[in-house]
């Protein structure tokens, strides 16, 4: 088994211009790959942040075909890295709704898995209001895990972070990846606390790529993409603006944490 593996969380400030977003994503992916990262995750809505909830319907793709999926396929092959594209709009049988889908590609370009976000965010405070159910259909409510060279990886998206039972149901995982677009208000209050809690209770690394900054549609996202250790320590973080947060998964350290404090083995429910 590998003793270490280098990963990266990419932070973006996506716009309503698909071409610009894909160009920004490729630039950040190239930087991460050239620095030695073997697994790279993009944030939620990396390809598009529209002005209205239903704007994303205009760029929806059928499962397995489309420009955004072609981009992820080609970029993973080009740099021979694992790519987590979180997220893009995949069509449903309802013309007014899409799935908010996370796709994982291996170093050979093969698609490994697809996860459709299951918890749909809503929030209202003063003039600030969000309701993802307007344009998104929730996916099938089940945990999503895939095998990587260093171990098992669980994936979830943004608002999922608030539901710890989802992550507990993933079982023995070495890494959680949670692409997000937390609002500035909720992120400032809860983002880091929730991420550290998920790392501590599951005794695993957490990689959290995020949208981070002021978008052309007026929305402000919290950013603070980070990598967290199984002890709950923030290993690396980026406040706002586009960039890359990278670091090593130390698998020997992870095993030592679990040996010293065998909380997972002590579960009775």
- pLDDT per residue as tens digits for the range 50-75: 999 899 999 999 999 999 999 999 99
Contact 33, 79 (CB under 8 A): yes
List the Cα angle 246/43/188 in 5-degree steps. 85
37, 47, 158, 204: which one is catalytic?
Answer: 158
List the strands of the sheet with 111-116, edge to edge: 111-116, 98-105, 82-91, 39-41, 4-11, 243-250
Higher pLDDT, 131 or 245: 245
Contacts of 165-173 spanning 24+ positions with Cβ under 8 A = 166/118, 166/119, 167/143, 167/198, 167/201, 167/202, 168/201, 168/202, 169/142, 169/143, 170/143, 170/144, 170/145, 170/202, 171/143, 171/145, 172/264, 173/145, 173/202, 173/204
Span 181-227, pLDDT tens digits: 999 999 999 999 999 999 999 999 999 999 999 999 989 999 999 99
What CATH number does the domain located at 4-266 have? Answer: 3.60.110.10
3-class DSSP assignment, residue 150: coil
What pLDDT does residue 1 have?
A: 65
Average pLDDT over residues 22-48: 98
* Dist. CA 106–CA 227, nearest whole Å: 21
Domain map of the chain by residue range? 4-266
Query: Which token pair is 87?
Result: 């997220």
- The band of 147, judged by pLDDT with boundaries at 50, 70 and 90, is very high
Q: How many CB atoms lie within 10 A of CB 115?
A: 26
158 is catalytic: yes
47, 117, 240, 244: which one is catalytic?
Answer: 117
What pLDDT does residue 53 have?
A: 87
* Dist. CA 223–CA 104, nearest whole Å: 22
Higher pLDDT, 28 or 127: 28
117 is catalytic: yes
What pLDDT does residue 149 have?
A: 96
What pLDDT does residue 2 have?
A: 81
Span 97-137, pLDDT tens digits: 999 999 999 999 999 999 999 999 998 888 788 899 999 99
37, 44, 240, 244: which one is catalytic?
Answer: 44
Residue 187: half-sphere exposure toward Cβ, Cα within 13 Å: 22
Query: Which token pair is 197?
Result: 């809690």
142 is catalytic: no
Residue 112: half-sphere exposure toward Cβ, Cα within 13 Å: 24
């Amino acid at each position: 088994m590998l003793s270490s593996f280098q990963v990266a969380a990419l932070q973006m400030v996506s716009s309503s211009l698909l071409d610009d977003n894909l160009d920004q994503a490729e630039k950040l992916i190239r930087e991460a790959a050239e620095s030695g990262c073997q697994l790279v995750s993009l944030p939620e809505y990396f390809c598009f942040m529209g002005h209205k909830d239903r704007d994303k319907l205009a760029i929806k793709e059928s499962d397995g075909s489309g420009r955004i999926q072609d981009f992820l396929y080609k970029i993973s092959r080009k740099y021979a890295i694992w790519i987590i594209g979180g997220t893009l709009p995949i069509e449903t049988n309802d013309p007014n709704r899409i799935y908010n889908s996370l796709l994982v590609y291996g170093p050979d370009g093969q698609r490994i898995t697809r996860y459709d976000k299951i918890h749909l965010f809503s929030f209202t405070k003063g003039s600030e209001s969000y309701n993802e159910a307007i344009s998104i259909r929730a996916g099938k409510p089940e945990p999503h895990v895939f095998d990587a060279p260093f171990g098992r990886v669980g994936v979830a998206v943004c608002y999922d972070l608030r539901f710890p039972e989802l992550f507990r149901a993933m079982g023995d995982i070495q890494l959680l990846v949670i692409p997000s677009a937390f609002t500035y208000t909720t992120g400032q209050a809860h983002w880091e606390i929730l991420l550290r809690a998920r790392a501590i209770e599951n005794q695993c690394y957490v990689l959290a790529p995020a949208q981070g900054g002021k978008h052309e549609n007026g929305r402000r996202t919290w950013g603070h993409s980070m990598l967290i250790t199984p002890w709950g320590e923030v290993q690396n973080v980026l406040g706002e603006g586009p960039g890359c947060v990278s670091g090593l998964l130390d698998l020997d350290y992870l095993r030592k944490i679990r040996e010293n404090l065998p909380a997972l083995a002590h579960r009775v429910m």
